Amino acid sequence: MRKVLLAVDSLNLNMASIDFACYIALLTKSRLTGVFLENILVEEIAEPSLGSYSASKGLSSSERQELTNENIRFFREACEKRGIQSGIHRDRGLPSGEIIEESRFADLIIMEPSLSFKKKMEGAPSAFAREVLEQSECPVLIAPDRFEGIDELVYSYDGSKSSVYAIKQFTYLFPELYNKKITLLEVNKPNELTVKSKPKISEWLKVYYQDIHFEVINGEVDKELFKYALQKKNILLVMGAYGRSMISLFLQESRASLVVKSSNFPIFISHH
């Protein structure tokens, strides 16, 4: 992996997202490009979420320009202090459309789940985040509010081509994590205790990883997967699809809000 994008609200920097993106860029020795998004059609910017670096509401055009320039300088300095090669894209238009177009020419997008360009506060994931997750042309990595490192990779798996595709995408993008504990997690119907195509997926994983574990739990996928993940510490969750799209399950605010707000782990989402 060489090109990582960080989706940024031009007028509200989130420090946690910048720190996490810098960690990923250092880990993979990638160039980190801050995509500074500004919806120029919106006259009033919502109050910032917890952890935002700066707030803006009712600013004039010149004030917005000054604040954006200040935030760009801050981003550059944060990268420079860590020895990260950085770039800046300023996109002024429909934020979701701009970042989706950028995704066609990138390896990975990092974004916070509550990133929003609406006048009023939204939950997480925001409408912007949901749209990016649905339409992005490269994998998306959801940045956590708090991050203390990665000790374990949890791969959601059901034997389908979509779930295997997500595992492959993550493995190819992050070869540096070969020595982490790998848990292949399968959620099955009650009393179904088997890992689908276990010999084949096991053989493939052993080519890339050293410490591989298989775990099967029973119940409804959308409930049990996140219930399992929330009991873990310092994990990174990789999601593809479980029959009907796991992304669709994730995008259901009734399920996703609690997970995103409560989780301290990053979530990697990739789909065809």
Q: pLDDT digit string (tens) for 137-174?
A: 999 999 998 899 999 999 989 888 888 999 999 999 99
Integer Cα distance of 194 and 188 in angstroms: 8
User: Based on the domain organization, do 123 and 60 belong to the same domain?
Assistant: yes
User: Based on the domain organization, do 119 and 24 belong to the same domain?
Assistant: yes
200 vs 245, more confident: 200
Pick from 27-36, 65-74, 82-91, 184-193: least confident: 184-193
181 vs 60, more confident: 181
User: Based on the domain organization, do 111 and 177 belong to the same domain?
Assistant: no
Domain that holds residue 201: 152-269
User: How many residues in total does the chain contain?
Assistant: 272
CATH number assigned to the domain comprising residue 175: 3.40.50.620
Does the residue 147 lie in any domain?
no
Determine if the pTM surpasses 0.95: no
Amino acid (1-letter code) at residue 18: I
Asked whether residue 132 carries a pLDDT value surpassing 70, the answer given is yes
Does the residue 211 lie in any domain?
yes
User: Based on the domain organization, do 98 and 55 belong to the same domain?
Assistant: yes
Predicted pLDDT of residue 49: 46
User: Based on the domain organization, do 175 and 255 belong to the same domain?
Assistant: yes
Tokens of 265: 């782990």
Among residues 225, 22, 180, the alpha carbon closest in space to that of 110 is found at 22
Integer Cα distance of 49 and 18 in angstroms: 14
Which residue has 């049990």 as its token pair? 224
Q: What percent of the chain has pLDDT over 90?
A: 56
242 vs 195, more confident: 195
User: Based on the domain organization, do 43 and 91 belong to the same domain?
Assistant: yes
Picking from 122, 142, 162, the residue at the C-terminal end of a domain is 142
User: Based on the domain organization, do 40 and 123 belong to the same domain?
Assistant: yes
Average pLDDT, the chain: 85
For residue 257, what is the enclosing H or E element? helix 253-262
Does the residue 54 lie in any domain?
yes
User: Based on the domain organization, do 83 and 211 belong to the same domain?
Assistant: no
SS3 of 201, please? helix
User: Based on the domain organization, do 157 and 257 belong to the same domain?
Assistant: yes
User: Based on the domain organization, do 104 and 27 belong to the same domain?
Assistant: yes
The number of folded domains in the chain is 2
- Give the number of other Cβ atoms within 10 Å of residue 135's Cβ: 13
Q: How confident is the model at residue 256 (pLDDT cuts 50, 70, 90)?
A: very low
Predicted pLDDT of residue 200: 95
Picking from 142, 165, 196, the residue at the C-terminal end of a domain is 142
User: Based on the domain organization, do 125 and 165 belong to the same domain?
Assistant: no
Picking from 77, 112, 142, the residue at the C-terminal end of a domain is 142
Predicted pLDDT of residue 68: 94
